[in-house]
Chains A and B, each alone.
Chain A
Amino acid sequence: MSTQRSSHDGGRGIEHLGIVHAATPGVLDTSHDVILYLENITVTFDGFRALNRLTLYLGVGELRCVIGPNGAGKTTMMDVITGKTRPDSGTAFFGQTMDLARMSEAEIAQAGIGRKFQKPTVFERHTVFENLELALESDRRVRKSLLASLDGEGSDRIADMLRFVQLADVADRPAGLLSHGQKQWLEIGMLLVQRPKLLLLDEPVAGMSDAETERTAELIASLAGRHSVVVVEHDMDFVGLLGGKVTVLDEGAVLAEGTLEAVQGDPRVIEVYLGR
């Protein structure tokens, strides 16, 4: 189908030398350097248009901040990407080949989209270690879970992650006993051990202290390049810390897109969001 691609794919490996650039099911194809395509997405709840012909593209390795007033459709957009909400119209693609509107939440997660909820959601009765173990990239089928045991590589990765999110000392404590900020970090750690290609972070610093916020900003900024990241945020200062392109949503559609300075200077943005 896309034979024209073979010309400049030549240097990338034997599989790209073929005439036909075949779609492999379940494998992310980002050959156009775009990881996420949202085109003309509309979602309506009881007559209320949560998303109104939203169009947004995200590049591979890009860090994007999405801001907007309450009800602008930020969380609904996350829901569409993760399969929780189905769009009424429009298309949502992960890479070139994966139609998110046809995949279940679990399939989308397995394909490589990790999501952090606004309210930290960890397994409170499991230990911190077990939380990471459950999240660790693995075969998710029942059959495999019955006889699964953690191999050396897996426990190394969990150990690394425990230190990375500074929870090594509390690894054996039930996650329910962690502080709010620690839960946020644990959830981010859980996302990262899944080895996702695209990370969706819904207000990752809600309820964090200034020091924690700063450290989280550093962490997220360090992820860009290796992961594609979408951060939904209210806190302008935090968006400033992250850098990266900013998309402003309003009434379910993109109002403005660009650097933070550019969107902050945009009169329409000032009117609907910053001016309030």
Chain B
Amino acid sequence: MGDSEAVATRPFLPRPRPAAPRAGKLALAGLALVVLVLLPALHLYTPAGSRLHVSDYAITLGGKIMCYAIVAVALDLIWGYGGILSLGHGLFFALGGYAFGMYLMRAIGRDGVYQSDLPDFMVFLDWKHLPWYWQWTDHFAWAVLLVVVVPALIALVFGLFAFRSRVGGVYFSIITQALTFAAMLLFFRNETGFGGNNGFTDFKRILGFPITAPATRVVLFMLTAATLAGTLALVRWLVRSKFGRVLTAIRDAEPRVRFLGYDPLPYKLFAWTLSAMIAAIAGALYVPQVGIINPSEMSPASSIELAIWVAVGGRGTMFGAVLGAALVNLAKSWFTMAFPEYWLVFLGLLFVLVTRFLPDGVVGLGRRLVRGRAA
């Protein structure tokens, strides 16, 4: 308004932005050094018997957890900052995995059991030709394109209809569950052309390099770490921009945002689609490291598990998403070996307890402790 004449003007000091604590930055840099240099070096250059040796298992587990962390950050973007709880992000993760898996299947060439140009499962089904959607999947670049574009399109169309009809809250979550469940049933069918309930496995090579060789593993591991770092940087930049402030405003008081003249639809749609794309990239990195993709990744339970990671770590904090993914999955690796039958019980219990006692997750607990000590 034009009231500046009425009010004495004095230069306005820019508001202080809380700088990330220096210790935190150093810790992050240290972590990056360990993940990008130390662990790979110890895996490659120490003999298997050495006490310093980092095993195949550890490298694979680390890579896997970082993939999960990437999805967790993607989910945190829309849930923690956008207030949209997706219980179907496993779908985008799996679609990314399947898209890249198509390339890995084609890269097997004639080294499969049936020594055919077609992937084994197609030979088994007595198919004579590749289905049309398998075209060009022998090209790495095309597969990478599919990894990003297909999930993005699905997310875009789904989001457009859901957000335009103002479907939100628990209804949105339920529909995303239904979506991933429907996709799972579709992928279970052999006729769909994605290997039915076995999915894709027995990969041999990636860009010509043997997929199980230590050097290949290490490159995938480092690539995953770099992607995680890139995702964190991107999401951090996004949530600190004006876009991020509008997004959190939509989360907290959507009608107010509308009456301020913002249309929430494109904001939600952008965050949602970006989140799906990031999840898909994580899936594409996951499949070559784990060596298998099947429809169980699309099960409703896996998507719920994803949300639990974010809840445990603390939603609305990026570090929390990473921490939650790491903690829950490390616990899972140990639990499924020690008490395999109780894992789901434990997971459910964890979710209930965290929701009840730690609404802001482990990060929220940490903050409370720090504040308590400072006071």
Interface residues of A (CB under 8 A from B): 82, 84, 104-107, 109-110, 114-115, 117, 121-127, 129-130, 133-135, 140-142, 145-149, 155-164, 171-172, 190, 192-195, 226-227
Contact = CB atoms under 8 A, between A and B. Distances in A.
A126 B287 CA distance: 40
A104 B263 contact: yes
Given A123-B253, A126-B248, A192-B1, A146 B243 contact: yes
A172 B8 CA distance: 21
B124 to A, nearest CB: 47
A192 B6 CA distance: 14
Contact of B256 (A122, A125, A157): A122
A216 to B, nearest CB: 15
A163 B261 contact: no
Given A124-B252, A160-B3, A148 B260 contact: no
Taking residues whose C-beta sits less than 8 angstroms from the other chain, chain B's interface range is 35 or more
A70 to B, nearest CB: 22
B263 A160 contact: no
Interface of B: 1-4, 6-10, 12, 14-16, 238, 241-243, 245-246, 248-249, 252-253, 255-264, 266-267, 270
Interface centre among A115, A123, A129, A161 (most CB of B within 10 A): A123
A134 B246 contact: yes
B4 A121 contact: no
Contact of A130 (B16, B245, B263): B245
Contacts of B255: 84, 105, 117, 121
Given A82-B259, A121-B256, A145-B243, A156 B9 contact: yes
Contacts of B15: 127, 129, 171-172
A142 B245 contact: no
A134 to B, nearest CB: 6
A194 B261 contact: yes
A82 B253 CA distance: 16
Contacts of B259: 82, 105, 109, 114-115
Nearest to A114: B259
A105 to B, nearest CB: 4
Given A105-B259, A156-B12, A125 B241 contact: no
A140 B262 contact: yes
Given A172-B16, A227-B1, 11 more contacts: A106-B263, A106-B264, A114-B259, A123-B249, A123-B256, A125-B248, A126-B249, A127-B15, A134-B260, A142-B270, A226-B1
The 5 tightest CB contacts between A and B, nearest first, are: A159-B12, A109-B261, A106-B263, A110-B261, A148-B242
Contacts of B12: 155-156, 158-159, 162
Contacts of B16: 172
A191 B14 CA distance: 22
Contacts of A133: 242, 245
A54 to B, nearest CB: 21
A105 B255 CA distance: 9
Contacts of B261: 106-107, 109-110, 140, 194
